[in-house]
Structure 1
């Protein structure tokens, strides 16, 4: 059985403008042209079946902008992805198709995150995204961890590591409650230092790739041990 057209879909009544235009990308283009807004190479974000009607994407100097319809109500979800690394600059949703085109135009014009949010309060960004924008992602990540009440029990260890000049340049994050210090915040495959607390309160420190491994490290020696693997 063939896939029903978008006009026959259960959400079509929420998107009469998409039904009329034929797809989300086409509807956005119509609105953008009417307001003389640059939305770049706007196109369907996916091709299988009804997805071509529900999704749209366009490129910017900072990464891909993705738009999709929300199910069971009228709303458009917007995500601005990073061109480098695996993070989102900003995201949000609006019921106004014109606002979607204005967000795209503003971001493609080079506005910073704070200005984007001021113009479009529904577009939210994280403190870490702003750290990437300002060019100090590692420093921002350390600050976030040190201030996070969830990691209060680890604050002493984090402070010791952050005080080390070599380690403070690495990008810290927790994965499965294990602290990892990434060599490159934009490329997790570039290598990392993994610091794992043992049951006896000491630590094992591992560098990957390479597998260099230091075991049974006292907390007082932890920063020096981690830096020695760089």
Structure 2
């Protein structure tokens, strides 16, 4: 075990690691931080506002907090207080407004993060990355077709098993989302993910955009 880990984080090493330490601290404070999973750089927990990850600084006692979605990650602050850390993670998971989080947890630095969301930056940057990637050239025609529509380009895109996935909320993995796969002969298959009994629906090219708009705007 590294000397800096013993020196700076005796409470973490005493219980066998960061995941166990956070879970124990959350239990003592009556906080729900969800399932905390170890990663090579620390731990992570899934929330409706992206994945919250926590890492340990080596040069001083600091728990560094990040939020991530596919291909994007933001640092949102750091603290030396394990109890305050788990309270902040719990409040984040509960959906506390950003202004409330700023006021309650002074170590959180949310200005750049919230400005990026307000500008639609994660979504527009993700579109640019996918459209310019040679790795996804097989989906490029479909991506261009969808991106050409002013409404649909506002949804967050990813590629999943060769299909284009469109999600209403970039940070929320459980928000309304569709999978779109290109078939031969100007035909497509569309799947509304995350609903009971989902099935693929074949859609002709001429109806694709209207079909996607309607499905993504449906509660």
TM-score (norm 2): 0.53
Task: Please tell me whether the aligned partners of residues 48 and 174 of structure 2 are also in contact (alpha carbons under 8 angstroms).
Answer: no
Query: Whole-Å Cα distance in 2 between the matches of residues 217 and 190 of structure 1?
Result: 26
**Which residue of the partner structure matches residue 25 of structure 1?**
9
Gaps of 5+ in 2: 27-32, 65-76, 81-105
- Per-residue CA distance 1:179-211 (angstroms, 9 max, x = gap): 111122222222212201225552112334374
Q: Shift of the alpha carbon at 1:225?
A: 2.7
Gaps of 5+ in 1: 1-10, 27-42, 71-76, 115-128
Query: Whole-Å Cα distance in 2 between the matches of residues 174 and 196 of structure 1?
Result: 10
- Evaluate the alpha carbon distance shift between residue 54 and residue 69 of structure 1 in structure 2; reply closer, same or farther with a 3 A threshold: farther
**Which residue of the partner structure matches residue 202 of structure 2?**
215
Query: Whole-Å Cα distance in 1 between the matches of residues 139 and 190 of structure 2?
Result: 16
- Evaluate the alpha carbon distance shift between residue 188 and residue 56 of structure 1 in structure 2; reply closer, same or farther with a 3 A threshold: closer
Residue 167 of structure 2 is aligned to residue 182 of structure 1: yes
Tell me which structure has the larger Cα radius of gyration.
1
Q: What are the within-5 Å matches in structure 2 for residues 30-109 of structure 1? A: 44=12, 50-51=16-17, 77=41, 84-87=48-51, 96-98=58-60, 100=62, 104-105=78-79, 108=107
- Evaluate the alpha carbon distance shift between residue 142 and residue 110 of structure 1 in structure 2; reply closer, same or farther with a 3 A threshold: same
Q: What are the within-5 Å matches in structure 2 for residues 133-172 of structure 1? A: 135-172=120-157
Task: Please tell me whether the aligned partners of residues 188 and 208 of structure 2 are also in contact (alpha carbons under 8 angstroms).
Answer: yes
- Evaluate the alpha carbon distance shift between residue 79 and residue 130 of structure 1 in structure 2; reply closer, same or farther with a 3 A threshold: farther
**Which residue of the partner structure matches residue 118 of structure 1?**
none
Query: Whole-Å Cα distance in 1 between the matches of residues 39 and 123 of structure 2?
Result: 35
Matched positions, count: 168
Higher relative contact order (CA 8 A, sep 6+): 2
Q: Shift of the alpha carbon at 1:105?
A: 4.5
Report the aligned-residue RMSD: 4.6
In structure 1, the residue corresponding to 2:109 is in which secondary structure?
A: coil
- Per-residue CA distance 1:153-189 (angstroms, 9 max, x = gap): 3222212201212211211111222211112222222
- Per-residue CA distance 1:7-60 (angstroms, 9 max, x = gap): xxxx3xx32x554x5xx534xxxxxxxxxxxxxxxx64x98x53369966999x
Task: Please tell me whether the aligned partners of residues 183 and 189 of structure 2 are also in contact (alpha carbons under 8 angstroms).
Answer: yes
In structure 2, the residue corresponding to 1:153 is in which secondary structure?
A: helix
Query: Whole-Å Cα distance in 1 between the matches of residues 55 and 180 of structure 2?
Result: 35
TM-score (norm 1): 0.51
In structure 1, the residue corresponding to 2:78 is in which secondary structure?
A: helix
Query: Whole-Å Cα distance in 1 between the matches of residues 178 and 213 of structure 2?
Result: 9
Query: Whole-Å Cα distance in 1 between the matches of residues 9 and 55 of structure 2?
Result: 18
